[in-house]
Amino acid sequence: MYLGFVVVKGAGLVEVRSLCDVALLAGQEILRVYATDFDVEIKADQSPVTIADTAAEAIILRALHEMYPGIPVVAEEAVSAGDTPAIENTFFLVDPLDGSKEFVSKNGEFTVNIAVVVAGEPVMGVVYAPALGKLWWGAKGQGSFYAKVVDGCISEAHQIGVREASSGLRAVGSRSHGSGEGDERLSRLPIRDYVSAGSSLKFCLVASGEADVYPRLGRTMEWDTAAGDAVLRAAGGRVERLDGGLLVYGKRQQVGDVDFANPFFIAYGDTRFCQMADAV
């Protein structure tokens, strides 16, 4: 089964199989908590957090530090607790449980996200939906793939790619934060219909040709998007800010916003439509 790797200066090879294995381990712990009557806390940013978030992140951090000690890891819960490593050219971005609202509501649409960022670009990403038994991964120049996870094991992999949109776009929006439907900033795009999904699954739907565009006209953080962004780019898509520039990663000391916060963006499958929405 092809999984691929990227070469990271000073750290050698980062194999996507190793990241998939780490995501599966974190997913096991998430599912263990998912089956219980867990407590929910509300963080300062008003997002929910459970023991599943912190336990899964601990698993991921320990594994990445052991396998790739030369690469710093920026992880959501650690940053929330004030633990932000110094980063330079290359780093991991981790969201141990993306879609906490979906986790709390138990609709299954939550994911484990692990990405490798080099020079501001997400060059490798793994997205695992443990409750759905679905795994996506992608690496720059090597394509994107999907596989089912059965009894904790990765089944046969299938290469995925964005689709050519011929007449009207299917947009996928956030199940918990709004789809963007009716927003005048999307009026230049020929959107035919909207569907909803939770967490980074939206990127994966575009990457696999099940949707054409994912507009996010609301707040996200880099760990929310990097892994799905990497999968989509490797599948032939593109993720742009509203001014037409590529979404970049490792944003620190931003004027008017916190570290690692994203601007609004639109993720495209068929990139012919990018210019239609530029400077909306």
Q: Which parts are annotated binding residues for substrate?
A: 76, 224
CB 207 within 8 A of CB 115: no
Helix (H, G, I), strand (E, B), or coil: what is residue 19? helix
Annotated binding-site positions: 76, 95, 97-98, 224
For residues 218 and 215, give the distance between their C-alpha atoms in angstroms, rounded to a whole number: 9
What does the alpha-carbon distance between residue 62 and residue 94 come to, in Å, rounded to a whole number?
12
**Amino acid making up residue 87:** I
- The type of residue at 247 is L
245 forms beta bridges with: none
- Assess contact for 138 and 122: CB atoms under 8 A: no
The two structure tokens encoding residue 23: 């995501």
Cα 110 to Cα 169: distance, rounded to the nearest angstrom: 25
